[in-house]
Structure 1
């Protein structure tokens, strides 16, 4: 017995000593790390990084900007089963512990020892919040110790609801989604409050390993993990077995969120992104949760993108087929098919997709290609645009030298050629209809804006934003050619000219001396090398005669005209010589569209606008175009966007130009726009060397500009004028866009005058004259003489000596 007491005493003293050492050790460790613990007082006002969203004019999301895709939502929006599922799966005792769950830590330790590695963590939800928001992810005991201390402190400061708010908005749930709202959109294309029990339990199974349990890539694993979550919910008394069985067996529809940036909005969205970054900084742009409301009409934008692409593809086909992407030998061809087959097993073919195909056979009626494991045919009748081409065996092709390949009269298509095709239809993953395809080399741009308020409704800066972010609407300065002429005519009208004014269309020769003292000649000419004699300004603009415009510019003055063009909205430098009349000064499509909008708006210049309102994550308005949004005045960080509207020309001058541009459409180079079957004003533009093609046109509600050209400037091809190369995109866009808008006539001021005139002289004629035409004049500018007076012989003055 004394021996037992002695042993007990030794053990007791040893245990007490170890306890004291442990206590002082823990206390020392606490005081040691306490000084390095981060402050968490700011968590009371903590707002997790959130995405910035941009919306179209009707409230549809067009773009998102973020580092972490997170949409912060209050706990009140989260369904009760969602919260219960996360608690059951991640921290069953969450509502009972004070930040640390010793039982869970001990249980996890035993499992990890048994497994010989870390298979389960013992961190509570509160600890996960502390680690995520306040600590680094390093795996050290000191970090775990800090985590436990911070978790305990957080439990003293915050309610369970507040901790859940931080946790469920912060946690990463795979595929770029942070927080439950972003994950609900990612996996089910739903708002978090609309999730059912099955969907809630799938999300709750993700935190442990989001990529491993992704319902996209590993559906069966996700279902296994869902079953675990449901069992934990039953064990915690949150649901019944019947509810769990129904949630597990009901079909789970994984419906990925659509990618808004791929809907043809890239060029417009990038302009919005640049504006936000410039005015609010990168942090607010990517983490601030701003809501940006824009002027974009989403349906117009998507129609514009399609119109530009279709037009460029038609132009590219007119230039001919450039041949295969590459040619493969038999071994490489087999490897190509194997690799493509594996890729298509992961991502099946979809209609509209452009993909590479391998040419494997041909006949007089068709070409046979292989796309992965599938064969498809290209009927020869669909390949007429690509002719002439010659399908030859690979061995014959390989035996040719490079000169023979390059100088062949026909495009060579050896068996083994990799070509691009567009999938038209698919049945059970099999391509049932395909077209030969090649990406256009030329680029295009289209801009549509409201002339009354400058709101940009659609903006396409190129064929594909994913391939080239260079925005040709804003960043590309190109020669406008004849599209500049209406601006010069407007300047002439304000100098006293009228649509009936007549100028002789005759050959011109200008001589000048260059910097080297050498004399050079400039012999401008009309398209087609013809001259038309006495010509009215209306006729000259209708048919885009160059000589008349040159003489007109010379008469009114180059410097005056340059100032006038700047007044209309042309900000680029202008060549101060007579070539200005032919569009020799480069400018952007935005500048030209802005100048034409002055005519469409009745003489008012309005700065283009992209954004109508911006709010912060709490809904507070930061800037707006509507003064009513600031009833109590502006705070220091708020801004009223003022529409810059300024009358720069008279209503009468704007009306005259519009009326003459209607003639361009009805009887001249803008004839393609007649397809709209409504009042339209428009003008083509073509440079002498066919490097740029333009069409600018408008109706009372909308101004639209279309441009086509190569980035590395070169001719567009034979007869590729503004009418042929650029106008079709304009017509396609306007036809669809205006389908739901009523046809309107252009406004004619009451002051305008109408008189019958002789088209050859521009002088008045009697109303019943068979040769007269009715012409429009600004008040006080109509001719006062009659053409008949000019034709009468004058009485001789016999008292004159001569």
Structure 2
């Protein structure tokens, strides 16, 4: 009886085993048909970042969905590989994709813990799950994972699998793969990691957020200790090495987004171009390398110049009052939150921060910034007028026109750090976020390459790029285009025009008769005035007379040649800058003058290369040695001569007078040859300064997005030129001072100031004027022959 029972049990066991085996075989055959082919892993092409580079090769932006930078296994330190193997799959080099011992051990631990505390997946299985399967936690997926892992081990080498694993794995804070993680946490390349750093990275895969060195350094250290212990157990390092690594002080470098704030307006223009021409998939996952024309130093100086200028303009308009007033509880929460955000960050001079007013007297305001105490001396807030600190709960009151500012305790103020004292008390100055906006664009007139572009005060606040998207009235900054057109129509720098009142009668659409009486900014007329003086001092009436004489259509077509594409008014108001255009358009036009009459299309990008090193776009034909393919593009600049070198030089020389003797006087501080022109609209809604040296053109604009006057006397000279000067003073430091090149044939003659005719050199009233070949006056000015001023546009133009 017992024998029969034993035999029955054996047969039953064999039957059950056979059934299980047949079931597994059937399941394998069924599932295997649905599995992806592991052969696809041989051509591993994960999503990788697109990098944007400045002119000098520095990274200025990155675009990605997964920040991954694949590196070959050969670049990875041996101890990094050993750390990951010890922590994640100690039998990696011995198994065939599945480690049954580890699976059993993990199962027992999970049963004992009453939940999942340890996984049994090998590194190979993790690669299979990551690259070939979904992350769902089901038995079917685990079964597929095991089959794929076994197949992968047959098809790929261990080194191939490590390459896939260590470049694919997520290690927290948008870092995929060990290279991105090394940059994220330690600001290093992977090959430069120490044993301690390798062990900390190897501790992250289990729970990257839980063991984040940024947020939970203590937990990260505990996990590092575990990894080092496993490395000792596996014989990779000695206990002494582990102890030494554990004691190494690690500095975690919170990775600042490489999309540099100062470059944001420029790089956003590049991003839009890439998305429009290559699509989102290639932009965010294709690993493009984009080389741009931006000079990072100039870009940072430009952004700083725009911000500082807007702050100064804002201060001239007065303090608008405190941002908000906090209750005692709100203040405590505000300061606690601020302290947490500041952390161990060092506060440095120049930082702009929010502060809470805690008290003060007539000569000093006392504030708190997180853990810091701050003092604002009278000199730091006197621009705001008289200030009185009142108890919390009393109403705040904005001053203005000498009236007293009332600031309750608990007021939130914007401040700038001026000095950090030894006792960590901060000396501050009062600031406020400007209400106006500004733009600055700079380009190389000889190549058309954009070196800097600022589209506003702060990209984080407003992504609208005013340098290329905002059309604004240029005011007198349009005048050099009109004067250049006049030079080509027979005018010379010595031509004398009468600055006298004129009246234009107009008929409205309804048939009503009106009169237009243009006037100069100074509200007076100057009589006989030379062409040079008229531009130097920006006389409106003379410019209108010149435009009427030359012809509006001629000037509009002339502006088109120079690169102005915006619609232009076909009436005499064009002389006053009544047609809106962008700062970049104006920069393009002025670049024609600076380049000697040649127009170049502004460019931002010099080369685009795909992940395989294939050049997709380039300005250099040498990058296409076998010719330009159907999926490639040669960026053609096609320089086009649009005005003569003589005209370009004459208008440049005239604008040198604007700087030397006229409204552009601030630019003299550069201490080198510079040409420029201010621009101000009649109602002071827009302020401009446009100017250049031979190697660089820059345009500065200031105005409100919702158009309104900038303030009393806020002209182009006062409101826009300071930003231009601040930028150019730094931008030209690396450029040798150059004279504007004088074309062959340019003539220099002594001229009588009153008549504009030739005069002997020894005449005390003479000055030397420049002329295009053959355009100098043919007659001499004699006292008895000097014409009297008459009410016409020019005096004897044919002889001038």
CA offset at residue 301 of structure 1? 0.7
1:27-42 → structure 2 map (5 Å cutoff): 27-42=25-40
Residue among 597, 617, 624 paired with 1:623: 617
The answer as to 2:646 corresponding to 1:652 is: yes
How many angstroms apart in 1 are the aligned matches of 2:84 and 2:602? 49
How many angstroms apart in 2 are the aligned matches of 1:159 and 1:351? 55
TM norm structure 1: 0.95
How many angstroms apart in 1 are the aligned matches of 2:203 and 2:330? 44
Q: Answer whether contact 2:681 2:687 (CA < 8 A) is retained.
A: yes
The alpha-carbon distance between structure 1 residues 428 and 614, as it changes in their structure 2 partners (threshold 3 A), is farther
State which drifts further: 330-339 or 151-160: 330-339
Give CA-to-partner distance per residue, 1:244-301, whole Å, 9 cap, x none: 2221112222223343323411011111111111111111110011111111111111
Provide the residue aligned with 1:160 in structure 2: 158
How many angstroms apart in 2 are the aligned matches of 1:83 and 1:428? 46
How many angstroms apart in 2 are the aligned matches of 1:327 and 1:738? 45
Provide the residue aligned with 1:488 in structure 2: 482
Provide the residue aligned with 1:318 in structure 2: 316
DSSP-derived class of the 2:414 partner? strand
CA offset at residue 619 of structure 1? 1.9
How many angstroms apart in 2 are the aligned matches of 1:241 and 1:393? 63
CA offset at residue 241 of structure 1? 2.0
State which drifts further: 559-568 or 610-619: 610-619
How many angstroms apart in 1 are the aligned matches of 2:182 and 2:331? 43
CA offset at residue 556 of structure 1? 0.6
Aligned residues: 787
Gaps of 5+ in 1: 794-802
Provide the residue aligned with 2:737 in structure 1: 743
Gaps of 5+ in 2: 788-800
State which drifts further: 258-267 or 553-562: 258-267
Residue among 450, 453, 457 paired with 1:456: 450
CA offset at residue 422 of structure 1? 2.5
* RMSD between superposed Cα atoms in Å: 2.0
State which drifts further: 152-161 or 183-192: 152-161
Residue among 700, 718, 722 paired with 2:694: 700
1:545-556 → structure 2 map (5 Å cutoff): 545-556=539-550
How many angstroms apart in 2 are the aligned matches of 1:768 and 1:406? 57
The alpha-carbon distance between structure 1 residues 42 and 225, as it changes in their structure 2 partners (threshold 3 A), is same
The alpha-carbon distance between structure 1 residues 110 and 568, as it changes in their structure 2 partners (threshold 3 A), is same
The alpha-carbon distance between structure 1 residues 666 and 502, as it changes in their structure 2 partners (threshold 3 A), is same
State which drifts further: 376-385 or 322-331: 322-331
Provide the residue aligned with 1:391 in structure 2: 389
Provide the residue aligned with 2:792 in structure 1: none
State which drifts further: 200-209 or 6-15: 6-15
Provide the residue aligned with 2:293 in structure 1: 295
Residue among 677, 682, 687 paired with 2:676: 682
How many angstroms apart in 2 are the aligned matches of 1:541 and 1:792? 23
DSSP-derived class of the 2:749 partner? strand
How many angstroms apart in 1 are the aligned matches of 2:347 and 2:674? 42
Q: Answer whether contact 2:499 2:542 (CA < 8 A) is retained.
A: yes
Q: Answer whether contact 2:291 2:606 (CA < 8 A) is retained.
A: yes
The alpha-carbon distance between structure 1 residues 788 and 276, as it changes in their structure 2 partners (threshold 3 A), is same
CA offset at residue 348 of structure 1? 6.9
CA offset at residue 351 of structure 1? 4.8
CA offset at residue 388 of structure 1? 3.1
CA offset at residue 240 of structure 1? 1.9
How many angstroms apart in 2 are the aligned matches of 1:696 and 1:678? 16
TM norm structure 2: 0.95
1:412-561 → structure 2 map (5 Å cutoff): 412-426=406-420, 430-561=424-555
DSSP-derived class of the 2:395 partner? helix
CA offset at residue 771 of structure 1? 1.6
Provide the residue aligned with 1:185 in structure 2: 183
CA offset at residue 537 of structure 1? 0.6
How many angstroms apart in 2 are the aligned matches of 1:70 and 1:209? 18
Residue among 573, 578, 581 paired with 1:579: 573
How many angstroms apart in 2 are the aligned matches of 1:792 and 1:507? 22
The answer as to 2:408 corresponding to 1:410 is: no
Provide the residue aligned with 1:375 in structure 2: 373
How many angstroms apart in 1 are the aligned matches of 2:648 and 2:660? 18
The alpha-carbon distance between structure 1 residues 447 and 412, as it changes in their structure 2 partners (threshold 3 A), is same
Q: Answer whether contact 2:377 2:428 (CA < 8 A) is retained.
A: no
DSSP-derived class of the 1:760 partner? coil
How many angstroms apart in 1 are the aligned matches of 2:168 and 2:684? 56
DSSP-derived class of the 2:259 partner? helix
CA offset at residue 591 of structure 1? 0.1
The alpha-carbon distance between structure 1 residues 216 and 334, as it changes in their structure 2 partners (threshold 3 A), is closer
How many angstroms apart in 1 are the aligned matches of 2:95 and 2:326? 67
Residue among 88, 92, 100 paired with 1:94: 92
1:594-605 → structure 2 map (5 Å cutoff): 594-605=588-599
Provide the residue aligned with 1:81 in structure 2: 79
Q: Answer whether contact 2:415 2:431 (CA < 8 A) is retained.
A: yes
Q: Answer whether contact 1:185 1:256 (CA < 8 A) is retained.
A: no
DSSP-derived class of the 2:458 partner? coil
DSSP-derived class of the 1:264 partner? helix
State which drifts further: 119-128 or 365-374: 365-374
Provide the residue aligned with 1:798 in structure 2: none
Q: Answer whether contact 2:753 2:767 (CA < 8 A) is retained.
A: yes
Provide the residue aligned with 2:781 in structure 1: 787
State which drifts further: 294-303 or 329-338: 329-338
Q: Answer whether contact 1:349 1:429 (CA < 8 A) is retained.
A: no
1:184-223 → structure 2 map (5 Å cutoff): 184-223=182-221
Provide the residue aligned with 1:327 in structure 2: 325
DSSP-derived class of the 1:303 partner? helix
